[in-house]
Structure 1
Amino acid sequence: TLRDVCIKRIKRSAAGIEVQVPRLVRTPAALVRTLDYLVEKIIDADTKVDPRFLDARRRPRAPTMSEVRAYFWDRARGISNDWMAQNFQGGGRLSPGLIESYERIVRALIIFNYEMSEDEEFVIAFRTTNEEQLNNCLKTVCELYDYARRTGVPELQSPHEAEFRAYHVLMQMMDNSAKVEMAAFLRKLPGDVIASRDLQFAMDVFATVNDNNYIKYFRLVKRATYVQACLMHRHFVRVRQSALKTINYSFNPSNGSATLS
């Protein structure tokens, strides 16, 4: 039934409405199961007919990617709110389930950003918002890793820390202040994370961008994991523009300042 597949929506503040009703706040275990359901039954099954999405004749249909993203993000925010309502995050309580939840949300947002990169409506209306959401969630994940390491509790150390630290590098590598920020970012990382395959790959990509080695950049795309490739894809236009400027200068050194659009 529809009741069996319902997931609590985020409840925004409004006059006379209590945002968090204690009896409706889900337990940590329930929050993990909810995210399992979102990933396995919503994102992974987005091509199947779903009773939550209706056509013009009110018949169930398969959702569009835009609808899947909107549905997922609304419910993911609700999951985040329920964690915070129980004093998780922000220096409060910490659990492996909390960290894993944010990790899975980040992966989903990265993939949505890539899958919808050619959707004109999404690019115009939601691309910037999605980037902000992704940045904020990735920042939260990194803060949780820092907090977990400060506790010294082995059970709180995520086995995926290197993977997400690498995503941070791939996200920020085109920023104007990337070199300075990256140096500070790497200084605070533990040796095992820096030596990891994921972070070494991300730093290799970062180096190709700084060296304007566009040939190696696209070769590295072939070696990337799917999620890493999604993040590298977001920089394709700028890498190609830089490549064209380099090629233009090579063949026309006297006209090296030519503008390419």
Structure 2
Amino acid sequence: MSRRRAPRRISLSQRRDAPAGGEWRQRTEEQWRGKAQVREVEEEEERQEHHGKDSVPRGTCQTMCPTRELQDRQLQNCLHRFELLVGTERDRRPRGDPLRAVKEYSRPAAGKDSTNSSDLRPAAVLLKTVCYLIDKVAASPHLRPWTEVYNYVFDRLRGVKQDMIIQRTSGLNCVAILERTVRFLIYASYRLCGEPLRLYDPRINDTHLQENLSWLLDCYATGTEPHPNQEEFQALGLLYNLGSARAAQHIMELPERLRCSPAVTLALSTNRAFHERNPVRVLRLARRLNFIQSCALHRHLVSCRRDLLVIYSHGFSSRNCRFPLDRLAQLLCLDASLTTRLCQAYGVEVNRDNQLIFSKAAFTEPEQEQLHCKLYHNIVAEKQRDRGVGDIIHGCT
């Protein structure tokens, strides 16, 4: 009886393309040694990262723009016209004015060290920079157009915020910077409403406004220092985010002292009327708001007036029913000519006797281009009176 031989076992060193002799053992040891080295590098990186979390960089730059950045931008001819030294504007390579140049926002990049102390400004210098941007740039009557002023200040405020994040700035200086930043962005959302998208993007402005407002409210919640402007900004946050359940819940979780303050109470009443789709009450309460509060609310005025016309188009939809134009103008907080223009945009007929003929069948939704929101800002504009931009952003009453 023939027995089948068992297959011959081939050692690893005898396999095809296998290293001969002790070469396999040597390569295996090198591989393990390499893995150990990689593990050591990873552990070292983790230690450095952990050490970096414990040691927060502190800025030492005492000027609004670091010297190195000013020199680099001057060589690259990248200075803004608001930063040029007077008398060198027409030179081939204009020089920067150290007293006017402000550090610009720079995107994080690989290999770029953004924690260099000489390039970071302490909190006191950051606050001084923000005050300069407000008083000498945003509020200047000589710098025009204001869209360019806005874009310049907006970029430099992003640079301020970047330095604050790197240094984990907190305390009263942080709150003062954020308060002025939020007021500036709220005011800009009103003043630049309706501008071309290439000059002003309301969505980008809204994104940064929400981020700064959230940071500010968090500073109020975690800080131990007294904040005299907290009532103002709690109300502004709700008015700007009218109809937001999250914003309303935040207000309801505040201490009773803040929740029952006049500004917050008025904001809560306005928010409740907005939730109930009572545009007449919203517009009536809007008359009691101050200027910066009206700026925060103004982006909701279009929808409120639209809701009012929808309700009246259904409630007074009759061939024989006539509604006085002056009465509707009073409810909409507009003059007669603007009320007529708004009604015609929504398909509401205005006869020769200045009477409105509502019809739910004739009501139409106009295109966005037909609704020039800036035309209907009188409820906000009349509250500014002779107040300057600097006083508005600094919160001077």
Question: Normalising by the residue count of structure 2, what TM-score does the alignment of the two structures yield?
Answer: 0.54
Alpha carbons of structure 1 residues 18 and 157: separation in structure 2 relative to 1, 3 Å: same
Q: Which residue is 1:100 aligned to? A: 176
Given that 2:237 and 2:247 are in contact with CA atoms closer than 8 Å, whether structure 1 keeps it comes out as no
Superposed displacement of residue 128, structure 1: 1.0
CA displacement 1:97-121 (0-9 Å, x = unmatched): 1011111100000000100002133
- The equivalent residue for 1:53 is none
- Structure whose residues are more often helix by fraction: 1
Match of 2:317 among 220, 244, 252: 252
Percentage of pairs with the same residue: 24
Q: Quick one: distance in 1 between partners of 2:270 and 2:135? A: 31
Residue segments in structure 1 that go unaligned for 5+ positions in a row: 49-61, 89-93
Q: What is the match of residue 54 of structure 1?
A: none
Q: Which residue of structure 2 lines up, in the alignment, with residue 73 of structure 1?
A: 154
Q: List aligned pairs for 1:33-182, cutoff 5 A.
A: 33-45=128-140, 47-48=141-142, 62-88=143-169, 94-121=170-197, 126-148=201-223, 153=224, 156-174=225-243, 178=244, 180-182=245-247
Quote how far apart the aligned CAs of 1:257 are: 8.0
Query: Residue 181 of structure 1: CA displacement?
Result: 2.7
Residue identity in the other structure for 1:72 = V
Per-residue deviation, 1:37: 0.6
Correspondent of 1:227 among 292, 299, 322: 292
Structure 2 distance, partners of 1:173, 1:39, is 27
**TM-aligned CA distance change 1:184 to 1:232, over 3 Å:** closer
What are the Cα deviations for residues 148-188 of structure 1, in whole angstroms up to 9, with x where unaligned?
A: 1xxxx3xx2311111111111112223xxx3x435521332
**Which structure has the larger Rg?**
2
**Distance of 1:20 and 1:63 partners within structure 2:** 35
Query: Quick one: which amino acid aligns to residue 149 of structure 2?
Result: V
- Cα deviation for residue 252 of structure 1 reads 2.1
CA distance in 2, matches of 1:198, 1:6: 38
Report the RMSD for the aligned CA atoms in angstroms.
2.2
Partner residue of 2:261?
196
> Is the 1:102–1:137 Cα contact (8 Å) retained in structure 2?
yes
> CA separation in 2, counterparts of 1:144 and 1:256?
49
Aligned residues: 231
State the Cα distance separating 1:217 from its structure 2 match: 2.3
* Aligned mates of 1:207, 1:122 — CA distance in 2: 36
Deviation of 1:122 after TM superposition, in Å, equals 5.5
**Residue 66 of structure 1 contacts residue 122 of structure 1 at CA under 8 Å; is this kept in 2?**
no
SS in 2 for 1:235: helix
Q: Distance in 1 between matches of 2:272 and 2:308?
A: 15
Structure 1 position 147, deviation (Å): 1.0
One-letter amino acid matched to 2:309: L
Residue in structure 1 matched with residue 123 of structure 2 by the alignment: 28
- Following TM superposition, by how much is the alpha carbon of 1:133 offset from its aligned partner in structure 2, in angstroms? 1.1
Structure 2 gaps, min length 5: 1-84, 86-96, 319-358, 366-397
Counterpart Cα distance in 2 of 1:12 and 1:19: 10
In structure 1, what is the Cα distance between the partners aligned to 2:363 and 2:173?
50
Q: Give the partner amino acid of 1:80.
A: K
TM-score for both structures, normalised by structure 1? 0.81
Q: Residue 242 of structure 2 aligns to which amino acid in structure 1? A: M
The structure 2 residue matched to 1:19, chosen from 106, 114, 122, is 114
Cα 1:211–1:108 change in 2 (3 A) is: same
CA deviations 1:134-154 (Å, max 9, x no partner) are: 111111111111111xxxx3x
The answer to whether the 8 A contact 2:259-2:265 is kept is yes
Change (3 A) 1:72 1:222: same
Deviation at 1:196, TM superposition (A): 1.1
CA distance in 1, matches of 2:127, 2:201: 27
Residues 189-216 of structure 1 show CA distances to partners (whole Å, capped at 9, x for unaligned) of: 0111111111011112112212333233
- 1:233-261: per-residue Cα shift (whole Å, max 9, x none)? 111110011001100011128x7587631
